[in-house]
Amino acid sequence: MCDQKSIYIHIPFCVKKCVYCDFFSRTDLSLIPIYIHCLQKEIEKKPGAKENINTIYFGGGTPSLLSIRDVARILQTIGQRFKVSRDVEITFEVNPGTIDFDYLAELKKTGINRLSIGVQSFNDDKLKFLGRIHTAEQAEQTVEDAWAAGFNNISMDFIYGLPFETHAIWIQDLEKAIRMAPSHLSCYMLTIEPGTPLGEKCEKGLVNPLGSSVLSAMFKKTATLLSHNKYEHYEISNFSNAGQNRSRHNSNYWNMTPYYGFGPAAHSYDGKIRSWNLKNLETYIKDLDSGMLPVKGQEILTCEQEMMEMIMLRLRTLEGLDIHIFQARFQVSFKDFFKDVLAVILDQDLGRFKGNCFALTLEGKIRLDSIVEGFAKKIL
């Protein structure tokens, strides 16, 4: 068993749901107190007192809707149940429009040492389309407040590729972000998920997504511009300033490091078994009040599933797939087993071997889904 694990804490509350979001969340904020109580119960019931936790991540939803006292209580419960590393990375997602300088200053005192700010855009038209509750001005103020509060590891999240978005609009967002010099940038291409308000608009023909060629050009421009400004493109959607301050928590996912997930709809993985909590807040609360863990189901990953996940996750990264690790784990020759798949990728310059690793080129990352599908046909 791995001696390092991560913890993910899901905070399933939002002031209102964004039109594109399919994450589990609720807008009834009156449930927060009972939820925190039950969340602590779930953490206390999990085994793992001897395991070393090196990253903790508060995601959502909107974690910044919690009181400072609630944040401190959750961290205290984790500290009582697990062995938390002295150099633990603790990331906390905050949304502009829900916080101010005083909140951030107090948050810093709890031990939170990394902020992930849901900026999404500095363009008010984009923010309005996405259904965000904040303005561009508030987003900029939040970043300034975070620096002033003493945070020196700040990540900013952005969404691009909206139906009406032009290259010029997106570049303005990026250039403004660069001027603010965050430690880290996450730039996500808009994904239109079925069942969301945005997905329903697309089905009715009320919104027309951008074409794949336009999105590909935006992706390339993002990578190029950020690279020229010394941001390392270490994962498809993630960039770290000067090659430092990568998200250690998310890197653990891409390295298939075991993790605990707490909260409704949260997933856990112990290196072989994946389990997930039920996606219902009332039932989650009811189960924990009656002394039960709120686990909905679990699966033991097959060798083929593990192989597929390693390829899918590692090809997202700058370093790519370590062939030696792959072959030691699955007892097959990577080059021989995937000879036909690799031939196509190499011929089209979509990937290349770098020492002991196989990684995708920028063009290959654009076509990640189809490349992974090629590997899947060989494995499954």
Q: What are phi and psi of 95, to 5 degrees?
A: -115, 130
- pLDDT recorded at residue 141: 97
Structural domain contains residue 308: no
Angstrom distance (rounded) from CA 102 to CA 104? 5
Give CA angle at 279 (19, 201), nearest 5°.
20
- pLDDT recorded at residue 1: 43
Angstrom distance (rounded) from CA 282 to CA 35? 9
- pLDDT recorded at residue 201: 92
- pLDDT recorded at residue 253: 96
| Cβ within 8 Å of residue 221, ≥6 positions away | 167, 170, 171
Number of domain units in the chain: 2
Do residues 225 and 328 both lie within one domain? Answer: no
- pLDDT recorded at residue 93: 98
Structural domain contains residue 268: no
> What does 18-75 look like in DSSP terms, one character per residue?
-TT--S--BS-GGGHHHHHHHHHHHHHHS--TTPEEEEEEEEES-GGGS-HHHHHHHH
Which domain-ending residue is among 236, 254, 272? 254
Kindly give the parts of the chain with pLDDT less than 50.
1
The CATH code of the domain that includes 61 is 3.20.20.70
Strands 357-360 and 321-322: antiparallel
Do residues 151 and 229 both lie within one domain? Answer: yes
Do residues 42 and 157 both lie within one domain? Answer: yes
- pLDDT recorded at residue 49: 61
Structural domain contains residue 348: yes
Do residues 76 and 197 both lie within one domain? Answer: yes
Do residues 244 and 103 both lie within one domain? Answer: yes
Range of the domain at 360: 323-379
Sign of the torsion formed by the C-alpha atoms of 106, 112, 114 and 119: negative
Structural domain contains residue 312: no
Do residues 26 and 125 both lie within one domain? Answer: yes
Structural domain contains residue 284: no
Structural domain contains residue 290: no
Which domain-ending residue is among 254, 270, 292? 254
Which domain-ending residue is among 195, 219, 254? 254
Structural domain contains residue 188: yes
